[in-house]
Amino acid sequence: MGMFEMKPKLATVKGRAVRCVVCGHDAFWSREVKLNSSGAELISMAWANQSAVGLICADCGYVHEFAGKRPKLWSQKRGYPEGAK
Ligand SMILES: [Zn+2]
């Protein structure tokens, strides 16, 4: 494993499996998304940090952004942790 993650990952948020809202796919590329000042103002929530995590659907490419709870990533090989729905 080098600097880049070579395989898309399964993701959970608050223990729930994340599915693409567009196509229902379950594997995502992730990347850190820096929020600029105007973006931070738009969000204006106490928990919003200076960065968000983008989960990019490995199938259709739709980007799901998380500015609060960080999604947890799991390898497709090992699968979801026990209890994930
Ligand atoms: Zn998709």
> How far away, in angstroms, is 25 Cα from ligand 1 center?
5
- Is the confidence at residue 3, as pLDDT, over 80? no
Which CATH number does 9-71 carry? 2.20.25
Q: How much is the pTM? A: 0.74
Task: Please give the pLDDT value at position 1.
Answer: 45
Over residues 29-83, the pLDDT tens digits come to 998 877 665 555 555 554 555 678 899 999 999 999 998 778 999 999 999 998 8
Q: How far is the CA of 23 from the centre of ligand 1 (A)?
A: 4
> Could you tell me if residue 9 is left (phi over 0), alpha (psi between -120 and 50 degrees) or otherwise beta?
beta
Residue 64 has a CB neighbour count (10 Å cut-off) of 19
Q: Distance, CA 80 to ligand 1 centroid (Å)?
A: 18
The structure tokens 């729905």 sit at: 85
Compute the distance from residue 65 Cα to the ligand 1 centre, in Å.
13
Q: What is the pLDDT of residue 62?
A: 97
| 21 CA to centre of ligand 1 in angstroms | 7
Spatial distance between the Cα atoms of 6 and 52, rounded to a whole number of angstroms: 21
